[in-house]
Structure 1
Amino acid sequence: MTRYGLHASHEQIAPQQLLADVQHAERAGFEAAMCSDHFSPWSHRQGHSAFAWAWLGAAMATTDLTFGAVNAPGQRYHPAVVAQAVATLGSMFPGRFWVALGSGEASNEHITGDGWPRKEVRTQRLEECVGIIRRLLDGEEVSHDGLVTVDRARLWEVPDPRPRLVGPAVSLDSAARVAAWGEGMVTVNQPLDALRERVDAYRGAGGVGALALQVHLSWAPTEEEAEQVAHEQWRSNVFGEPISWDLETAEAFDAVSADVSVEKVRTVVDVSSDLGWHRDRLASYAELGFDEIYLHHVGQSQERFIDAFGEHVLPDLKEA
């Protein structure tokens, strides 16, 4: 049965409020949560970006939800440091944490001052990091010389069970590629046929484990308000590769998104004032085989959304 969770958007909401939001979501019937590990928001209008790892400890200690995080090892983070963070949460909260390991975006990684590698180099670096992190989590002492260097690293807190290492994928190529190492796949909402192709690409390449979907949506009591919220908060997030990978600052995202229309935002955000429409849309995603669906209301205020979906959407989805 599909489980429904909350996406906690650090780029949009201050950490103390976001902590209250996930606690509220648990009371409302959400079963899980996930977040991304950003250094920078996508826009000045979003205006936040707290340290996800510190927040995760507080969120997991004050709820019983399972949590996932999306992280990019290799530049801003040495893979041994990522492994230690994953191991600590896995040891403190057994069976309640997973991490999706991606190749990253320049908006978060450029802060090191190192050059931003080509995509194929970033992919190779990620795959080296995945192998290092897995070996460390399995209790090995690891040395490695490649695109990243590790010298006799060992974790002194080894989690049992080991948290899952999940492959994030948006394109067909990435869905097939992460199948080689992913213990599950996470992607974002797209047209149903495109999502079906990505599921098939992952499974067809031998991909195992749970499938997770992050759904960007906007709900408000009126269609006009739902559109306004989506356009104000998420118009800088409509761009695919390479723009989303390679732009370095919130100012740059604001500049390129200045003339983005509401209609364009609707191609990446499920916008409706009709709770029944949202329920049916989420059910159609579940029918594609997603085991976990994380709802991301793209507004900065979550309370009305959590209450409305907790009362009118989640019960029907769980019953179905």
Structure 2
Amino acid sequence: MRLLEFDGQGELRLTKNLDENIPPYAILSHTWGADDEEVTFKDLESGSSEVKVKLGYRKLLFCGERAKRDGLQYFWVDTCCIDKANHTELSEAITSMFRWYRDSVVCYVSLSDVSVGICDKIDEIKETWDSAFRSSRWFTRGWTLQELIAPRSVEFFSLEGELLGNKEVLEQQIQEVTGLPIAALRGASLSDFSVDERLRWAENRQTRKEEDKAYCLLGIFNVFMPLIYGEGENAFIRLKEVIERSSRTKLDEATNKSLDESRLAVLGGLDGQVPGLIARLATEFVKEVQNHTPNLAVQMQEAFRTQEKELTNQGLDSLQHITRTVDVAKITDWGPSKKQG
């Protein structure tokens, strides 16, 4: 992960690729303009002054200056912090994107199609931009899902750089526009929502490349798959297959965990330190037998101690070893009608 910062002369520069000890940073969410108007990794690496005349340079300055006001030295913008000519780096960035937004201190959303205009009163400003906010192109993007859900703090800004509000303040409008559950906006675990529900969140969203309709959901489902630009609609087919495999794996893990918990409750710990239900019942039963037939009690104690007990997903294996070891017929030597000598 590379970050942006201002150098001593107030010029933008990229950090080296950071793998560990990533400092606190702000992150930008926006709608892309024309390719030739966005500042790229190559532009910043070249050091050309021509980069400053690009429209996209304003977004970099806005993000950096806002981060500085918030006490942050570093910030991240997707247009120039990724070397998109490097396929490996691009793939790693896309699969890490959800985590990068999640780990940011704050996400600034720059809405280029929402203007506050010229108003004297706060109420007039709100009336001016509320309709534009609801119809902003930003809400139709595929990548918006993770950029809206993942960060803890999301702040929305107008074309002029005016703060419109944060995710909490604008929660109701955002919910009405996107259809996302309030719980998801507030940071609930995405596993609380079904696969079908999360897929519905992505319906009718737009991406510049067909494959990105699938790739932008990797973080939403917490899955990984190789990126193959050029595969078109097949990317979404692969995504569904990966999600299905992941769901089966999680179901198996949950089943095994439940089975382990049941085994512990019934059989006790493997080291014998945690008595299970069978151990407790057997102990009580042997005590009763010992009162009447001591020799049989000794055999039963030994048989139970050496018995290999196994709880399967179909139930408890029968304690056949005990019945083989102990001559259960001897139990007839004990009973209420047996005269004690």
Question: Normalization by structure 1: what TM-score?
Answer: 0.25
Larger strand proportion of the pair:
1
Question: Normalization by structure 2: what TM-score?
Answer: 0.24
User: Which of structures 1 and 2 has the bigger CA Rg?
Assistant: 2
Larger helix proportion of the pair:
2
